[in-house]
């Protein structure tokens, strides 16, 4: 189910009749599931409350100014020092006391929901009082109507709090009016009942609209997070961040350590295995390589068939890039041996890596690809091709950088395509364990 469609499964009707008695139906929150997790439910409830509190703050500030001006005019209208204060004057003083106390004290109370309910209850009480005071003078019920409809439109809440609020204060106002004006007839009562029903209906639609907007926004956020996650899975973090900003610049790096690894006799292995089994085996093998790359701070570039390419020192500079790659290469061979032992397949990898300058960047339009180019990349790939099963071949620059930390075996000169005779060494092991195994972690 799409997030934008979540609210369609909930009941937005205002009321139902059971046995001739009207039963108020509450605003329904979505039931937590995979499309609308429980964290969204809590966040939506909090957003409703905080949005209502912001509107309550605006209303409070506006009414403070209006009531101060009207109270000052009432000093001249009533001459209360001589004749005493009338009901409207007392109401204005009470309203000002409420607004000031809310602004200075209650607005700072916790939790927010209790603060909002206090505001709504006392606000509806003042609206009922104003309508009761004006009933005998002008017959005007607009204050109650404005209060109820304002609460419904501006402060929709989960459950039936507002609907009960309208019902209680509406019934109280009707009772007061019939007690003081027994000959008034059904006019006032019908207006108050209509206001309560319309307010409840408006709140349902406002709540539904808020839930729809929230679901749509969170759905977009979720899709954006998935897109970002995919981007960060495909590209190195710094490259993915640059791509999000529209930057696809190509950079020349002074020294990069490039590694290639592939499965020995992959063609024969693929002919013996079912496609699904072959895919599972490669998934397990390259998945383990990815974990090791993250452990050693090595950046995976791509896989092509049974070949795996990784670099160190690009796109972000790291300390000891060649050492990182050597440790990674040794773990890659060890992981392949473990998987072969557990799976029972004759599985082996050959590995080769070299260090030197390279150009790195993003290419393509429809399917972007982060890649490296240069003679160093070609040498690393050809070194790998000359390697043996579960062996790690390196060039002379690697040997001179690491000969004090790692054990090497001299293979002598090996003919490389396009390079001629090239000195090759086999990386065997570390001479001593690092003082802090996590020192190379990314």
Q: What domains can be seen in the chain, in order of their start residue?
A: 3-227 (no CATH), 247-440 (3.30.70.1230)
For 231, the enclosing helix (H) or strand (E) is: helix 187-234
Range 118-132 average pLDDT: 93
Query: Phi and psi dihedrals of 400, rounded to 5?
Result: -70, -30
C-alpha angle 106-111-115 in degrees, rounded to nearest 5: 40
For 393, the enclosing helix (H) or strand (E) is: strand 391-395
Does 300 have pLDDT greater than 80?
Answer: yes
Range 64-84 average pLDDT: 75
* Strand-strand pairing, 369-373 and 299-304: unpaired
Give per-residue pLDDT as tens, 20-51. Answer: 333 455 788 888 888 888 899 999 999 999 99
- Tell me the pLDDT band of 7, cut-offs 50, 70 and 90: very low
Does 13 have pLDDT greater than 70?
Answer: no
Give per-residue pLDDT as tens, 240-287. Answer: 777 776 666 666 677 899 999 999 988 888 888 888 888 888 999 999
- Tell me the pLDDT band of 362, cut-offs 50, 70 and 90: confident
- Tell me the pLDDT band of 431, cut-offs 50, 70 and 90: confident
325 closest CA partner among 340, 313, 312: 312
C-alpha angle 129-201-178 in degrees, rounded to nearest 5: 35
Mean model confidence pLDDT for the chain: 84
- Range name among 84-93, 321-330, 400-409 with the lowest pLDDT average: 84-93
Does 149 have pLDDT greater than 90?
Answer: yes
Does 225 have pLDDT greater than 50?
Answer: yes
- Tell me the pLDDT band of 82, cut-offs 50, 70 and 90: low
Range 325-352 average pLDDT: 92
* Strand-strand pairing, 406-416 and 420-430: antiparallel
- Tell me the pLDDT band of 79, cut-offs 50, 70 and 90: low
Distance separating alpha carbons of residues 442 and 438, to the nearest angstrom: 9
Q: What is the pTM of this model?
A: 0.62
- First CA to last CA across the chain, in angstroms? 39
Distance separating alpha carbons of residues 382 and 164, to the nearest angstrom: 79
The answer to whether the CB of 388 falls within 8 A of the CB of 261 is no
For 332, the enclosing helix (H) or strand (E) is: helix 321-343
For residues 180 and 246, the model is more confident at: 180
The answer to whether the CB of 355 falls within 8 A of the CB of 256 is yes
The answer to whether the CB of 442 falls within 8 A of the CB of 321 is no
Structure tokens that stand for 204 in this block: 């349902």
326 closest CA partner among 420, 425, 241, 187: 425
For 154, the enclosing helix (H) or strand (E) is: helix 142-154
For 408, the enclosing helix (H) or strand (E) is: strand 406-416
147 closest CA partner among 174, 125, 173: 125
Does 6 have pLDDT greater than 70?
Answer: no
Does 74 have pLDDT greater than 80?
Answer: no
Give per-residue pLDDT as tens, 184-208. Answer: 778 899 999 999 999 999 999 999 9
């Amino acid at each position: 189910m799409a997030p934008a469609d979540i609210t369609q499964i909930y009941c937005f009707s205002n009321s139902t009749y059971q046995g001739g008695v009207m039963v108020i139906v509450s605003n329904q929150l979505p039931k937590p599931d995979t499309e609308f997790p429980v964290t969204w439910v809590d966040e939506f409830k909090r957003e409703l409350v905080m949005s209502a509190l912001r509107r309550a703050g605006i209303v409070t500030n506006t009414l403070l100014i209006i009531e101060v001006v009207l109270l000052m005019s009432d000093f001249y209208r009533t001459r209360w020092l001589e004749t005493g204060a009338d009901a409207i004057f007392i109401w204005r003083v009470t309203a000002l006391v409420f607004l000031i106390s809310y602004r200075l004290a209650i607005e700072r109370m916790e939790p927010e929901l209790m603060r909002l309910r206090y505001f709504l209850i006392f606000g509806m009480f003042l609206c009922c009082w104003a309508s009761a005071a004006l009933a005998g003078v002008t017959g005007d019920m607009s204050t109650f109507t404005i209060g109820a409809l304002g609460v419904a439109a501006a402060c929709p809440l989960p459950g039936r709090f507002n609907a009960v609020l309208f019902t209680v204060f509406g019934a109280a106002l009707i009772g007061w009016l019939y007690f003081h004006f027994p000959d008034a007839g059904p006019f006032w009562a019908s207006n108050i009942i209509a206001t309560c029903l319309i307010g409840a209906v408006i709140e349902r639609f406002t709540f539904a609209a808020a839930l729809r907007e929230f679901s749509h926004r969170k759905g977009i956020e979720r899709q954006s997070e998935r897109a970002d996650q995919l981007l960060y899975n495909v590209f190195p973090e710094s490259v993915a961040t640059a791509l999000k900003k529209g930057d696809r610049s190509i950079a020349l790096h002074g020294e990069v350590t490039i590694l290639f690894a592939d499965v020995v006799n992959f063609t024969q292995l693929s002919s013996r295995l079912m496609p699904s089994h072959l895919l599972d085996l490669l998934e397990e093998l390259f998945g383990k390589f990815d974990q090791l790359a993250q452990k050693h701070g090595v950046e995976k570039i791509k896989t092509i068939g049974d070949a795996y390419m990784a670099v160190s020192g690009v796109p972000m500079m790291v300390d000891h890039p060649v050492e990182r790659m050597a440790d990674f290469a040794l773990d890659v061979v060890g992981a392949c041996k473990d998987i072969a032992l557990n799976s029972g397949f004759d599985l082996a990898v050959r590995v080769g890596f070299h260090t030197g300058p390279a150009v790195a960047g993003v290419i393509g339009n429809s399917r972007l690809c982060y890649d490296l180019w240069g003679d160093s990349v070609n040498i690393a790939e050809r070194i790998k091709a000359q390697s043996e099963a579960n062996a790690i071949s390196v060039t002379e620059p690697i040997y001179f950088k690491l000969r004090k930390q790692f054990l090497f075996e001299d293979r002598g000169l090996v003919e490389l395509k396009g390079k001629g005779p090239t000195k090759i060494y086999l990386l065997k092991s570390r001479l001593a364990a690092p003082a802090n195994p996590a020192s190379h972690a990314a």
